[in-house]
Amino acid sequence: MEVASLTAFQRQPERFFEWLRPLAHHMLTAEPNAAHLALAEAERKGKVQAIITQNIDGLHQRAGSRHVLEVHGTLSTMTCMGCYQQYASDPFVPDYLEHGTIPRCPACGQILKPDAILFEEQLPATTWVAARQQASRCDLMIVLGSSLMVMPVAGLPLKAVENGARLIIINKTATYLDERADAVLHADVAEIVPALTRELTS
């Protein structure tokens, strides 16, 4: 809350960008793992209709997934706090990661805020509506690597179950929905998901 809230960003953007820099470096230089790649392949074969993610790293898209709902926003774009113009992050990233240069709007000079959702911000409305629709009409939801503790997104699997969907949870620790799930695997998603998607697509 001290650095990753909207209030903190507005008051001390320099502190926010200093805090974000090592995290952004890690996320923006990471590569998709076996789970990301397997989900993309399952989507290509028509077995995955949508991926609802709380991650902001863009790894699903880099793996090849097309229908990705980023309910907590993304680091791939930024919006000007002055004129609200949106920009792709790529041109600003190298100087920021290497020198800590805070990105500024080419049009008005104000600071650009990454489009990741901070504390005190609402979820992106269109994306959230689409995620709720997917949860309401799916016949199977697979929860991957989530403790299901961050609301309101953690309520989507329950919505799916209440609408008759089957539920599989793959997470290293227990979740509040384990008892309602059809299957629970306390394991590494990068090991389990490729095998699971092979079964789904065979």
Neighbour-count burial of 65, counting CB atoms closer than 10 A to its CB (0-12 exposed, 13-18 middle, 19+ buried): buried
Q: How far apart are CA 184 and CA 178, in angstroms?
A: 6
Closest by CA to 157, choosing from 190, 127, 188, 184, is 184
Q: Could you tell me if 19 and 173 are in contact, meaning their C-beta atoms sit under 8 angstroms apart?
A: no
- In degrees, rounded to 5, the angle at the alpha carbon of residue 120 between the alpha carbons of residues 115 and 122 is 60
The residue from 36, 60, 72, 99 that is catalytic is 72
Paired strand residues for 111: 104
The answer to whether residue 72 is catalytic is yes
Q: How far apart are CA 24 and CA 55, in angstroms?
A: 12
Buried-exposed string 22-52: b where 16+ CB fall within 10 A, e elsewhere: eebeebbeeebbbbbbbbbbbbeeeebebbb
Q: Could you tell me if 4 and 12 are in contact, meaning their C-beta atoms sit under 8 angstroms apart?
A: no
Residues 182, 39, 49, 146, Cα dihedral to 10°: 50
Catalytic residues, by residue number, are 72
